[in-house]
Amino acid sequence: MRGLFGRRSARRERHRRLPPASARSRGPGAERTTEPGTSEDAGQPPPRKRRFRLPFGPRTVAGEVFVLQVTVIVLLMVAVVIAFVLHARWDNIRQARKQALAVARTFAQSPEVISALDGKNPTAKLQPRAQAVRAATDVSYVVVWKPDGIRVTAPEPGLIGKRVSGPFKDVVEEAREGRSTTETLQAAPGPTVNSAVPVNNPDGTLIGLVSTGVTVSRVNQGVKNQLPVLLMSAAGALALASGSSALVSRRLRRQTHGLGTEEMTRMYEHHDAVLHAVREGVLILDDTGRLVLVNNEARRLLELPEDAEGRRVDEVGLGAGMAALLASGRTASDEVHLAGGRLLAVNVRSTRGGEGPRGRVATLRDTTELHALEGRAEGARERLRLLYEAGVRVGTTLDVVRTAEELTEVAVPRFADFATVELLDPVLRGEEPTAARTDIRRAAISGIRDDVPLRPVGETVRSVTVPSTGQAVEESGQAVLETDLREAHDWLAHNPEHGRRALEYGIRSLISTPLRARGKVLGTADFWRTDQSEPYDEEDLAFAEELTARAAVSIDNARRYTRENAMAVTLQRSLLPRGLPEQDALEVASRYRPTRAGVGGDWFDVIPLPGARVALVVGDVVGHGLHAAATMGRLRTAVLNFSSLDLTPEELLAHLDELVDRIDQDQTAESNGAMVTGATCLYAIYDSVSGRCTVARAGHPGPALVLPDGTVEYPDVPVGLPLGLGGAPFETAELLLPRDSRLVLFTDGLVEDRERDIDDGLALLHETLTGHPGRSPEETCRAVLDALLPAEPSDDVALLVARARVLAPDRVAQWDVPADSGAVAPLRAKVNHKLTEWGLEEASFTTELILSELVTNAIRYGSEPIRVRLLYQTSLTCEVADGSSTSPHLRRAAATEEGGRGLFLVAQLAERWGTRYTPHGKVMWTEQNLHPEGNSAEQDADSLLDQWNEQL
């Protein structure tokens, strides 16, 4: 079959052979051609010249298309011109505002303006400058006026000395606050852009204002200059677009010209064949509502009689809804109507035939099965979307209760009207659920309303819903579906009061599913629906099981994290100092803030040392969790042990560095990957006698020093490599701490965060500490954490603040002792006199005995110089220094030995004793408790002598 487009060339050829339209209009005989001058030509008017015709008619489609295109083009051109004018005007006004403000600021910031305004005749100095600036910058005026509104300069001399026009008090108030103003005013030349800039004395007081203005007429002139060019461009574009539209319309008319009867008949045959072959019903109605055409599919779908064509739609047995739609004459798009047990999607459109009367066409499509499939598919898609959303929203935190709340929030209202979660008590504590029966506590509840008559959060629910349901969930772990709770007699019998209130409220259906993860039942999740929703069915039960299965894994993860975090916190708290030790050298306050992401390795310590000294330690272990807490405990224990040897800060860090290296070697040998290298530490020793503090650090942030006057500085402390890297010695810095100065030690978590650089953190810490000389260490800790610690820190923080105390000179006594045994007796007399001066007569016997033994050992086994020092604090410290590095050892002397009992007596009489080494020898020291409980010193001496009674 040859189609319409396949015969286009043949139609064009026939069109070329057709005679003119005037000849065809005269009938069959008009097809003959005649010679000029014959009788047929007699009396005929001479042929007229062919007139120019438009390529389209005014009532043709091509003509309408042309008119529409031209109209759109004209509207676009008008819109472009208007937009350009408005934009140009706005841009020029903006430039005028900038120009006026810039000129005013430049003039106001001129030094001569301030001096002139303070002078006797400011107009004489400023008027010429204002006129010169106005002429040079092309502004309309430059006016200098005082805060009371009196003009100093003006474009017209007659206005000088007069008050500025319009309200100016708001402008003056803005100027007093140091702000400039720019606004459009109605002036004599017309609307003017006016800018006012304050002129201030060096002390900040307002002495005048400078106002400049640019008239809007100047702005509009620039727009007018550009408008002719724009209009000419728009006219050219309009002409070009109109010509293009004319060519397109002519082409359209040519393509629809010359269709003959044969082609039209063939097109109708094709149309009729397609009309009755499609699987879509077609109805054509006239304007009176009669059926003009009905295809076969429409007859089948509507079960129309054979003589339906020509009858009205309300006479062929259609349903009321379908007949009303077809007879109404309104347009419809995919309206679903029931006809003959089928759901039909109906589309109604109006037809306008050029060769026939107006009417309507209706198409019918059977969507019965499609609706059923779409309903099931949409339900499945909604459940998949809800499952996906649950995977995203449930388990965002590692908190058990919050995870349960997220599950209920996801289920309401898209799956349930109310949702509750009950968890076993061990699960809420982070413990492993056991086979023993335990209480179930409501952990979360969500609903479409707040007045639901269900047990509140925190209340114990011994059975999940009803005895049978609770038993099923707890023992068999199977989900339970209650389609209609009014028929759940066991549930009503279990708790009649709560059941009656729930039914009166309107709750009708329930699904109770176990929260099972890794073979353990953690609790139950209950989904409730009221009588306003469809009751649950088996498909809903399967979905609820899938939803709770995913949520149970998140709850179990949160439970395990809670358990591990509790273990880590317990371990860390056991390793951190429970309280700060008592000492007289420093007033100390501390804070530790763990991160929610897990327990970290930050730690601190305050270690009393002999000789009125205190060691301050702050450290940080890389990582979080149990390993970091355990490593922190090992390092803290090591520092305590090393400090008992009274090592200098650099020596202690060197030993700690070697320890970390050995730990890492052991970890590498075990292949567990938990490395310690990278830990940092700061160690400082403060001597309250001299007021000096020796500091060394291994990769740790340096301290901040708050002086008594409130100023803050960061002392320059040499930084060493982090622990475990080795290869370089550690260096120390000696700081002089005045009385009441504060030393602030901290870990990097205080000053560094994901959203804050360490330099910004140090600057903020400096700002927080500055200007508060009277703060106590406790107040300083509180202020620092409030200012620097974010709501959810990404790293744990350790903070240590120590206020320096200096031992008074009258509480220190010192003597040089010659290396002669005869010097011991005079020394005892001096010590006894000093103790009497201090009011410590009761401790004189014990002190004399201790010093006698220590000095005798120094004279006998040591070397010069020998020096004795007494320090009076809450305890009495005795120090004997000599130039020998040999340390005596405590031992028990045999019964036959004459010596060897001196150190034993010292150890028994003193509360603590020991030896520390100095660059020039050693120091033997003892500490005595000045408030002993029990017997006196004489009784203590007698008890010591009694220890040898059995051997003598």
CB 759 within 8 A of CB 770: no
pLDDT in tens, 672-729: 555 677 889 999 999 999 999 999 999 999 999 999 999 999 999 999 999 988 778 8
Mean pLDDT of 435-458: 81
What pLDDT is stored for residue 5 in this prediction? 36
Q: 268 pLDDT band (50/70/90 cuts)?
A: low
pLDDT in tens, 453-489: 788 888 777 643 333 333 434 444 688 888 888 777 7
How buried is residue 620: exposed, middle or buried, by Cβ count under 10 Å (0-12/13-18/19+)? buried
CA 803 vs. chain centroid, Å, equals: 38
CB 285 within 8 A of CB 359: yes
In this predicted structure, the answer to whether residue 37 has a pLDDT above a threshold of 50 is no
What pLDDT is stored for residue 654 in this prediction? 93
Query: Is the whole model's pTM more than 0.95, yes or no?
Result: no
Mean pLDDT of 374-402: 78
Q: Give the whole-angstrom CA distance, residue 855 versus residue 824.
A: 7
In this predicted structure, the answer to whether residue 158 has a pLDDT above a threshold of 70 is yes
Q: If you ran DSSP here, which 8-state letter would residue 893 be given?
A: P
Q: 883 — phi, psi (to 5°)?
A: -85, 5
Q: Give the whole-angstrom CA distance, residue 822 versus residue 849.
A: 15
Write down the mean pLDDT value for the chain: 78
What separation in angstroms does the CA of 535 have from each of 323, 481, 484, 492, 840? 36, 10, 7, 18, 90
What pLDDT is stored for residue 29 in this prediction? 37
In this predicted structure, the answer to whether residue 98 has a pLDDT above a threshold of 90 is no
Mean pLDDT of 728-751: 92
What pLDDT is stored for residue 734 in this prediction? 94
What are residue 283's DSSP bridge partners?
294, 362
Six token digits for residue 690: 């001299």
What pLDDT is stored for residue 746 in this prediction? 95
What separation in angstroms does the CA of 873 have from each of 567, 583, 615, 741? 41, 9, 17, 20
Q: Give the whole-angstrom CA distance, residue 100 versus residue 185.
A: 13
798: closest CA among 701, 938, 880? 701
The amino acid that residue 727 corresponds to is: G
What pLDDT is stored for residue 263 in this prediction? 56
In this predicted structure, the answer to whether residue 266 has a pLDDT above a threshold of 70 is no
Pick the more confident residue, 367 or 59.
367
What stretches of 305-417 adopt beta strand conformation (E)? Answer: 332-339, 342-351, 359-366
Q: Which residues contact 216 (CB under 8 A, 6 or more apart)?
A: 93, 96, 184, 190, 191, 192, 193
Q: Give the whole-angstrom CA distance, residue 376 versus residue 648.
A: 79
What pLDDT is stored for residue 374 in this prediction? 60
235: closest CA among 73, 123, 378? 73
In this predicted structure, the answer to whether residue 566 has a pLDDT above a threshold of 80 is no
Mean pLDDT of 85-109: 79
Q: Which residues contact 500 (CB under 8 A, 6 or more apart)?
A: 492
Residue recorded with tokens 């039209």: 264
% of residues, the chain, pLDDT over 90: 14
Q: 321 pLDDT band (50/70/90 cuts)?
A: confident
Q: Give the whole-angstrom CA distance, residue 472 versus residue 478.
A: 6
Pick the more confident residue, 46 or 759.
759
Q: Give the whole-angstrom CA distance, residue 603 versus residue 622.
A: 12
What pLDDT is stored for residue 649 in this prediction? 94
Q: What is the DSSP string of 402-438?
A: HHHHHHHHHHTTTT-SEEEEEEEHHHHTTPPP-SS--
CB 643 within 8 A of CB 649: no
Mean pLDDT of 47-75: 61
Mean pLDDT of 519-544: 86
Pick the more confident residue, 400 or 9.
400
Pairing type for strands 190-200 and 181-187 reads antiparallel
Q: Which residues contact 63 (CB under 8 A, 6 or more apart)?
A: 54, 56, 57, 249
What pLDDT is stored for residue 425 in this prediction? 82
pLDDT in tens, 904-941: 777 788 888 888 888 888 888 888 888 765 444 444 54
| HSE-up of residue 185 (Cα within 13 Å, Cβ side) | 20
CB 180 within 8 A of CB 104: yes
Measured in Å, how far apart are the chain's first and last C-alpha atoms? 142
Six token digits for residue 184: 């459009």
Mean pLDDT of 133-139: 80
Residue recorded with tokens 């007093």: 176
Mean pLDDT of 880-908: 68
Q: 892 pLDDT band (50/70/90 cuts)?
A: low
What pLDDT is stored for residue 744 in this prediction? 96
How buried is residue 871: exposed, middle or buried, by Cβ count under 10 Å (0-12/13-18/19+)? buried
Q: Give the whole-angstrom CA distance, residue 188 versus residue 839.
A: 96
In this predicted structure, the answer to whether residue 255 has a pLDDT above a threshold of 60 is no
| Residue 424: Cβ within 10 Å count | 24
Q: Give the whole-angstrom CA distance, residue 901 versus residue 893.
A: 6
